Amino acid sequence: MDAQPEGVAMSVTAKESALEALALAHKAGLGKAVQEFPGDVIAAAQAAAHTRSALPTASHPAAEPWPPMRMRTTS
């Protein structure tokens, strides 16, 4: 199962990161996606990591990066 695009050399760190992403996805119940679309799974993990790194560091572990969602009432 080679998830890297053709002609692209990956560093050892990138390969380890990709393998970790695939293992985490498999543990999360996405085994079929890992088998059929490993490149997409890796890309999604990289996008999520990039987005997460752009968020401010929370001072409290339960803090959310945005206000809580509230439902509108129509009464």
Q: Per-residue b/e over 39-72, b at no fewer than 16 CB within 10 Å? A: eebbeebeeeeeeeeeeeeeeeeeeeeeeeeeee
Model pLDDT, residue 70: 80
Both ends of the chain: CA-CA distance in Å? 56
Q: What is the pLDDT of residues 40-75, one digit of tens each?
A: 999 999 999 898 888 777 677 777 777 777 888 876
Closest CA to 44 of 65, 64, 15, 24: 24
CA distance 50 to 66: 17
Q: What is the pLDDT of residues 15-42, one digit of tens each?
A: 888 899 999 999 999 999 999 999 999 9
Query: Is the pTM of the predicted complex or chain greater than 0.75?
Result: no
